[in-house]
Amino acid sequence: MNGQTAAPSYGQVLRLDELLQAARVRDDDVDLVLFLATHQSCEIYFAVILRHLEATRAALDAGDGRLAAARIKPLPVVVSTLVRQFDALATLSLDAFNTIRTDLGDASGFQSVQFREIEYFCGVRDTRFMNTAGFSPADRARLQRRLDERSLQEAYRDFAAGCGDRETTDAVRAALLDFDEAFALWRARHAVLAERFLGGATGTAGSEGASYLWNAARRRLVPDVWAVGMTAVS
C-alpha cells in the first residue's frame, strides 16, 4: 500500500506525538511522574465526563429519556476508574509526597477549571469558586458560561414535568443518581487520601486540607434530583 494514501495509524489517530509531548512523563523523579500523569489523566476524563453530560442534557431537551439514560450510563464506571487512580497515589511514601508537595508550591487540584465546570453544569451554583486564585480571565469566562446556561438538573426537571412515562423518568433519575453517587465516593476517597498524606495540615491551595474535602464530600452535583422522590414525579 502507498504510504501517502494509507489510513491514519494508531499513533496518528490518538495524536500520540502531541499527547506524550504534553504528558509529564519525563521527569527524573518517577514518583512525580506518577503524581502529575495521574492528574493529567483525570483531566482527560473530566473532559470526557463533560462531553457525556452535555449529550445527556441535549437528549433530555429533545425529550428522549432513553437516550439521556444511555449517555450518562458509562459515567459511574468512568468515575470509579478515577477512584482507583487515588489508590495508586496512596502507594507513595510520605517522603516522596512531601518532596512533591514542596515542588507544587500553591498549585492544587482546587484550580481544576473542568472540575468546577462539571459542578456548575450539573447544578451546583456556588459562585465563590469563581474567585479561585490562579484562574485566568478565560477560565472565569468559561465558568461564567456554565453558570449562565441551563443546568442538567433543570433539564431533568423540565423533562420529567413533560414526560408522561413514569418508568422512563425514574430510569433517568436513577442514572443521574448513580453518577452523583459515584462522584460522592470519588470525593470521599480523595478526602481519605489527603488525610493519609496531610494529617491535619492545610492544602497547597490554602484550604483546611482533608477537613475541607470531607465537607466537600457532602456536596451533590444534582441536589434537586436527590430531593425529588421517585413517587413525586408523575
Contacting residues for 45 by C-beta, under 8 A, at least 6 apart? 78, 81, 82
Would you say the C-alpha torsion 213, 135, 21, 100 has a positive or negative sign?
Answer: negative
Please state, in angstroms and rounded to a whole number, the distance separating the CA atoms of residues 76 and 214. 20
Instruction: Rule CB under 6 A: choose which of 52, 70, 83, 109 binds ligand HEM.
Output: 109
CB of 18 to ligand HEM, least distance (A): 21
The CA–CA distances, whole Å, from 107 to 30, 40, 92, 206 equal: 19, 14, 19, 10
Which of 74/206 has CB closer to ligand HEM?
206
Q: How far is the CB of 33 from ligand HEM (least distance, A)?
A: 13
Question: For ligand HEM, which residue of 23, 33, 104, 108 counts as binding (CB under 6 A)?
Answer: 108
* Whether 215 contacts 191, CB under 8 Å: no
Q: Residues 169-208 vs ligand HEM: string with x where CB under 6 A?
A: ---------------------x--xx--xx----xxxxx-
Torsion angle (degrees, nearest 10) of CA 25, 27, 29, 30: 10
Nearer to ligand HEM, 99 or 207 (CB): 207
Q: Which of 110, 81, 99 is nearest to 33 (CA)?
A: 99
Nearest to 96 by CA among 161, 27, 48, 152: 27
Q: Is position 122 an interface residue for ligand HEM (rule: CB under 6 A)?
A: no
Compare residues 31 and 158 and give the one whose CB is closer to ligand HEM: 31
Contacts with ligand HEM in 76-105 (CB under 6 A)?
89, 97
Q: Is residue 211 a contact residue for ligand HEM (CB under 6 A)?
A: no
Is the CB of 39 or the CB of 170 nearer to ligand HEM? 39
Residue for grid cell 464530600: 217
Closer to ligand HEM by CB, 87 or 224: give it.
Answer: 87
Residue 39 interacting with ligand HEM (CB under 6 A): yes
Closer by beta carbon to ligand HEM, 60 or else 198: 198
How many other β-carbons are positioned within 10 Å of the β-carbon of residue 30? 10
Question: Which of these segments, 22-30, 106-114, 157-165, 174-182, binds ligand HEM (CB under 6 A)?
Answer: 106-114
